[in-house]
Amino acid sequence: MINFKQIIAKKIAKVVDLGENELQEYVEVPPNPEMGDYAFPCFKLAKTLKKAPPEIASDLKEKIEVGDEIASVEIAGGYLNFKVNSLLLVQTVLTEIDEKQESYGSSEIGKGKNVIVEYSSPNIAKPFHIGHLRNTIIGSSLYKIYQFLGYHVTGINHLGDYGTQFAKLIEGYKRWGAEYDFTENPIEDLTQIYVRISDLCKNDENVLEICRENFKKLENGDSYCMDLWTRFRELSLKEFQKIYDLLDVKFDSWNGESFYIDKIPEMEARLEKAGVLTESEGAKIVNLEEKGLGVCMVRKADGTTIYATRDLAAILYRAQTYDFDKCLYVVAYEQNLHFKQIFEVAKYLEIPEKCVNGLEHVRYGMTRLASGKMSTREGTAIKVDDLLKEAIARVETIMNEKSPDMPNKKEEAEKVGIGAVIFNNVCNNIIKDQIFDWDTVLNFNGETGPYIQYVYVRTNSVLEKAGYEPVLKDVDFALLTDAQSKNVIAKLYEFGEILQAVVQKNEPSILARYLISLSQSYSNFYNENKIITEDKKLTDSRLYLNKTVGLVLKIGCQLLGIKMPRKM
């Protein structure tokens, strides 16, 4: 596809002494299409050229040649605004979409590069609440987008299946397991046991000490403890899978914390060889004070492991197994210090430099209730299965009221309800905290997932009304150069660049906002232009543009994990 930004950068590079790549990074898309298709901020050159931006703009305008690709260049203060050849733009975009179809926007920029995405990672024997939901949705969308751009991606569900909580759960099961049948709601039963034993540990130090002994037994492979742990894990995974199926979330590896226990000795040996693993009050630590990161504990004084121990072993294993270029940890920003510490310690593990440099914490904001932070322990966490069921039920109620005779109502309600929840988790910059509110999640007006789905359904309805789907050879490109049509095509042109911006910043909200913008541009086109007309050539051309919008909305939503309904 023609790269208009590159063409503009080349024209400017002929006039100023700067590289094309640097100049291309400065080229912007103006906020108002009437200003032009692209803009170059001349203040970027002010220091180099020692001139005021408006003077630079005037000089550049006089020397830049317009041609086949660029129709005009205009000055706007300190900016140069460029308008591209509208006919060439229309032809380029529609031809590319026709050739690539469902793979439009994909590329091979990731060819030969290995990326790990660690996401979801719920705790075994605890409810899957909406804090885990955001993690799961963000990670799954990144997994799909990286794949779409040609990377070899490994999705890892780093299950919280180890630690002192299991030692407590084992003790609680010993005491009260016979009171539960674990058939109807196994996670709720295990949670109740955990709450009971935690309360008992608070009030009885002897019980807490027994739990600590249980953890030592678990780490040493005690058969009774291991059998119980295995049962807890299997019960949990069965329940989690129901949620993953609804969200269309998949993993290539389910290796949780427990998987790395036998890999810890090699990790520690490498740190000892590097001379950074020292003893402090019986514990094994790496002192990072000089880096401003405090002390990273690798083993506790009683010999047991902690999160950092297992994460460091995981880094070593992943570098050896996957030879990754990027290893993304989709984890809440509350764990900032933890990841800074283990990434720093990883420099001493003798793994390839590209692996060390590729470690990245994809931070996201916490999900909170209007009343404050959620807590499984306090019973204020909203469970994901309840949330999804409620979302589907509310959509179905709306459909019963507005379209009582609509076929496949339950199936379509599931797509819309779950789509609303998914979009709500990625529609804003992920670092921001999110206040969970039912009215916001299920608001089907405005900038929401259901709005995008509605626009997609409208594109299908137009095709159904026409009774046929046009092909590219029937399109007259010149009939799609009006303002509304060109705005839609300009949005379609951006799609591949948008996806690349997502992986550059690990920010799926870039795609979510784009889909809203494309939907709005289409709505303007739909409202201002009659699509099915008495002019067959005009109808074919507009109908084809209508079809391509539906295709790109579908591709984009699938990359976020949102399925598209046929009817709404």
pLDDT tens-digit readout, 202-237: 999 999 999 999 988 988 889 999 999 999 999 999
d(CA 449, CA 285): 47
d(CA 161, CA 233): 7
Q: In this predicted structure, what is the pLDDT of residue 372? A: 56
Kindly tell me if the per-residue pLDDT of 274 is higher than 90: yes
d(CA 22, CA 24): 5
Confidence tier at 48 by pLDDT (50, 70, 90): confident
Select the more confidently predicted residue: 18 or 317: 317
Q: In this predicted structure, what is the pLDDT of residue 375? A: 52
Q: In this predicted structure, what is the pLDDT of residue 353? A: 97
pLDDT digits 0-9 by tens, 248-258: 999 999 999 99
pLDDT-above-70 percentage for the chain: 97
* Beta carbons of 119 and 135 less than 8 angstroms apart: yes
Q: In this predicted structure, what is the pLDDT of residue 162? A: 86
d(CA 92, CA 35): 22
Query: How many CA within 13 A on the CB side of residue 531?
Result: 26
d(CA 327, CA 156): 10
Kindly tell me if the per-residue pLDDT of 412 is higher than 70: yes
pLDDT digits 0-9 by tens, 73-122: 999 989 999 999 999 999 999 999 999 999 999 999 999 999 999 999 99
Q: How many helices (H) and strands (E) does the chain have?
A: 21, 13
Confidence tier at 373 by pLDDT (50, 70, 90): low
d(CA 345, CA 564): 45
Kindly tell me if the per-residue pLDDT of 371 is higher than 70: no
Burial class of residue 121, CB neighbours in 10 A (0-12, 13-18, 19+): buried
Mean pLDDT computed over 143-160: 97
SS3 state of residue 436: strand
* Beta carbons of 444 and 398 less than 8 angstroms apart: yes
pLDDT digits 0-9 by tens, 443-493: 667 789 999 999 999 999 999 999 999 999 999 999 999 999 999 999 999
Kindly tell me if the per-residue pLDDT of 238 is higher than 60: yes
Select the more confidently predicted residue: 206 or 371: 206
What the chain holds in terms of domains, given with CATH numbers, is 4-84 (3.30.1360.70), 114-261+321-373 (3.40.50.620), 388-560 (1.10.730.10)
Q: In this predicted structure, what is the pLDDT of residue 220? A: 86
Kindly tell me if the per-residue pLDDT of 357 is higher than 60: yes
Q: In this predicted structure, what is the pLDDT of residue 381? A: 64
* Beta carbons of 64 and 12 less than 8 angstroms apart: yes
Kindly tell me if the per-residue pLDDT of 387 is higher than 60: yes
d(CA 46, CA 43): 5
Kindly tell me if the per-residue pLDDT of 174 is higher than 90: yes
Indicate whether this model's pTM tops 0.85. yes
Residue with tokens 């975009």: 93
Q: In this predicted structure, what is the pLDDT of residue 435? A: 78
Q: In this predicted structure, what is the pLDDT of residue 433? A: 87
Kindly tell me if the per-residue pLDDT of 368 is higher than 80: no
Q: In this predicted structure, what is the pLDDT of residue 366? A: 83
Select the more confidently predicted residue: 366 or 91: 91
Mean pLDDT computed over 304-319: 96
Which of 118, 135, 235 lies closest to 180, judged by CA?
235
The whole-chain average pLDDT of the chain stands at 93
The widest CA-to-CA distance across the chain, in whole angstroms, is 86
Kindly tell me if the per-residue pLDDT of 303 is higher than 90: no
